[in-house]
Structure 1
Amino acid sequence: MSFTQDLARQTATLRHQIHTMPFNRELAEGTLDQARFRDYIIQDAHYLEGFARALALSAAKAPDAPSVAQLAGSAAGAIAVERELHGHYMGLFGVSAADFATIEPSAACDHYVSHLLRVAATGDFSEAVAALLPCFWIYRDVGKEIAQESGAQNPYAAWIATYAGEAFDQGVNRMLDLTDRLGVAATDEGRARMHRAFARSCWHEWRFWDSAYHGESWLQPAALADVA
């Protein structure tokens, strides 16, 4: 069993819940409420900026030039997705750049980005890669599964095509290969840290979609909510 297969085995229950959660089931059916998807896209644009920063920070810790190039290239790719895919949907939903600038990251988005940046800043390179992997891997698997069920008339077809596409698949495979190499080379303690970072990011993936589906943001004490 490879290291990434072991990561998948230990998070299988949570990953199954991600595939079957209402947001992704309704996305596959094309019945997901447009307002929910719009709010998700806005938060995803905030998230991808932070994700790109975590990739770039991790790239600076890479032990060799190919790994630096891989993570730096993925950071540039995350920004490209934000500009193209999110630009498409924000234009469709009438969300201008000025509108976007007034919308703060949700609690789930902020929490996930903070986790990635913390691991990238304070962990070693292997731990950082493990924390970054779920965003690649889970989106690829969810996108491919939805693509098998969904038709061209799905209103979210552009999103589905992005994450089910060959280009994204190749990037995910490179990240899986890198993680396997790092897992083999790590000590037992290092592999344990990689497992923890990976599992926590899987939880954040679930939380991000669940928060978007339920329209959750920052909870406030009752007294502060009354003032607002």
Structure 2
Amino acid sequence: MTSTKDFETFLNANPNAAFHDWLRESAEPYWTKATAHRFTEELAEGTLDPQICARYLVQDYAFVDSFVSLLGYAVAYAPSMPQKRPFAGFLAAVTSEENDYFLRSFQALEVPESEWRSPQLAPVTAKLLSVLQDSGRSGSYPLVLATLLAAEWSYLTWGLACGDRRPQEFWMAEWIDLHAVPEFERFVTWLRDETSRVGTTAPPEVQQQMCRTFCHMMELEERFFDHAYEPEAGC
């Protein structure tokens, strides 16, 4: 498939494609760089430096707070109960099992509480939070879908790419599991289908807005992994 500037042209060239295919193709090369990153490969192989993992998790935990708020907006903006229910279920999982994983990992990696409770945000983290907050406050269900899809579909992609590889350390193995379990895959599949359902019939200007947001998110996702390898960033 060939990436194009608008969905209609893309669909004419790829009649069997879906709206989410256009989003992914438009986000290259950031999509591939983020979903096949050095970080995720080292994570799967169990060779990820603990300090790098700690630096990443501290920033990601800061991301989660705004992400949870965005899920709340998704519940509010979803047009009916069948759309609200998957978001509500995923929101419950993030605020329970995933939150517990973070707290146990910080303890195992000896991250001081002051660092994960009040972290110094990296520039890329601040930009990600800004995108989440802007999408949430936009009042736009399509924009919220595009933002969430970029974050969750990319993580499912690298999670599944890990295959059966699981390091001995739980703070690496469980991070893979959280993004490769069937429950998460079902949610992301539904989210992808819902984004395509909404995006396919959206006005061209809304489609373009969704595409710009998705692409910007993927650019930031790659940079977010890159940041973990920057020693000057601190823990």
218, 225, 232: which one pairs with 1:202?
A: 218
Distance 2:115 2:23 in 1: 39
Is 1:114 aligned to 2:130, yes or no? Answer: yes
Deviations 1:147-205 (A, max 9, x none): 34x24536611111221111111111111111011112211221111111111111121
Distance 1:123 1:216 in 2: 37
TM-score normalized by the length of structure 2: 0.83
Distance 2:118 2:135 in 1: 28
Point out the structure with the larger helix share.
Answer: 1
**1:187 to 1:102, Cα distance in 2 relative to 1, 3 A:** closer
Distance 1:102 1:5 in 2: 38
Q: CA deviation at 1:79?
A: 1.8
Q: CA deviation at 1:216?
A: 5.4
Distance 1:104 1:67 in 2: 36
Identity value in percent = 26
Match of 2:182 in 1: 166
Match of 2:77 in 1: 61
How many residues are matched?
217
| CA RMSD in angstroms, aligned pairs only | 2.1
Larger deviation: 168-177 or 102-111? 102-111
Distance 2:99 2:230 in 1: 26
**1:126 to 1:108, Cα distance in 2 relative to 1, 3 A:** same
- Structure number with higher relative contact order (C-alpha < 8 Å, ≥ 6 residues apart): 2
Is 1:51 aligned to 2:79, yes or no? Answer: no
Distance 1:215 1:143 in 2: 25
Distance 2:81 2:24 in 1: 28
Match of 1:223 in 2: none
Matches within 5 A, 1:20-169: 20-95=36-111, 97-122=113-138, 124-148=140-164, 150-153=165-168, 156-169=172-185
Counterpart amino acid of residue 26 in structure 1? E
| 8 Å Cα contact 1:140/1:164 also seen in 2 | yes
Superposed structure 1 runs of 4+ greater than 6 Å apart: none
Counterpart amino acid of residue 69 in structure 2? R
Q: CA deviation at 1:126?
A: 0.5
Give the secondary structure class of the aligned counterpart of 2:95. helix
Q: CA deviation at 1:6?
A: 1.6
Larger deviation: 118-127 or 194-203? 118-127
